[in-house]
Amino acid sequence: MTPPTSPTGQRTSRVVGYLLALGAGATWGTTGPLSTGLYGLMPATSIGFWRVLLGTACLALWGVVFGRELFRADARGWLLVGLGGGFLVALFEIAYQFAIAGAGVAGAAAMLYTAPVLVAVLARVILKEALTPTRVLLALLVMAGVALTVTGGSNAGAEAARLGLGAGIAGGLLSAVSYACTTLMARFAVPRYGAVRVLFLEALGGVVILGVGLTIAGQAPPPPPSAAAWRGLAGLTAGSVLAANILFFGAVKRIEAAPAAVAATIEPVVGTLLALRLFNQQLTPLGWLGLIMVVGGVASGYLLEARGAASPAVLSTPS
């Protein structure tokens, strides 16, 4: 029989969990700046394809060496997670690149973080979960913050992508919708198949759908044209695809999913600070206020979920 963990050990484990969640959020925050740096080297549509392809290859290699069960799933798993989740991954990868290039890093991240609002609404319709007045007020706070952030920011450094604010807003909203739907799917799939297997099946399906879809649309993703492009893609893969998810999964093993997600909301702050430093992207005072409203509203919502839930919720992660 395993002895119970001491209070000191529990506290240490929780501290480690919060640090891992902060690390995950900070790592996801590099997605926008790294993508912006690649826009002068390759098309925005190709960046998402190649980073997911490299991430899928790394996960497959890990499965071959350490865990062949990664490749085992029933027909429902392949259809729901591989096909359905793959479509959502493909949509996210294209839409988020358009959001970053058109609305800037801060604007894209702020729009992405409307996803918890969409989850609350869709969960009410699909899963019959409660939609309380507090959730509605927080949703309005987040939406107002997004509007201020998008209108108070710039996308300096992304000029090579030749995408305007309209495309950025459309991409940001579509990326939020795809993330919200992925979260709802994860609430069903992760308890049945495990987080890593779900991540692999989604990524595999996303690569296939992206490759076929872009080819049919006449935008077949060309190979990265230079060593600098390969380095940028390797950084995106190692960071936002692999390391961030590993850190977040490590966090939710030690602390509840809701407070882990609160810590991960550092993502748009880190992304904005990096964009300001590396590309001179700007936020007006109202833009900063909007970003604070987004982060504060989302974090408050997760904290309320943690207090009100009888057991930890299964949460998916952005980026």
pLDDT tens, residue by residue, 160-205 = 666 788 888 999 999 999 988 887 788 788 888 888 888 899 999 9
Q: Which residue has the tokens 């899963």?
A: 127
pLDDT tens, residue by residue, 71-102 = 888 888 899 999 999 999 999 999 999 999 88
Cα angle: 112, vertex 120, 313; to 5 degrees: 95
Residues 6+ apart with CB under 8 A from 203: 52, 55, 56, 59, 86, 89, 241
Alpha-carbon distances of 158 from 43, 164, 168, 282, rounded to whole Å: 11, 10, 11, 13
Nearest CA among 28, 199, 200 for reference residue 100: 28
Beta bridge partners of 153: 283
- At residue 1, the pLDDT reads 44
φ/ψ bin of 157: left (φ > 0), alpha (ψ from -120 to 50), beta (otherwise)? left
Output the average pLDDT for the chain: 83
* Mean pLDDT calculated for residue range 252-279: 79
pLDDT tens, residue by residue, 19-74 = 888 898 899 989 999 999 999 899 988 999 999 999 999 999 988 888 778 888 88
Measured distance CA(308)–CA(314) in Å, rounded: 14
- At residue 180, the pLDDT reads 83
- Kindly tell me if the per-residue pLDDT of 116 is higher than 90: no
CB atoms inside a 10 Å sphere around CB 24: 29
- Kindly tell me if the per-residue pLDDT of 315 is higher than 80: no
* pTM for the full predicted model: 0.80
Measured distance CA(60)–CA(88) in Å, rounded: 20
- Kindly tell me if the per-residue pLDDT of 317 is higher than 50: no
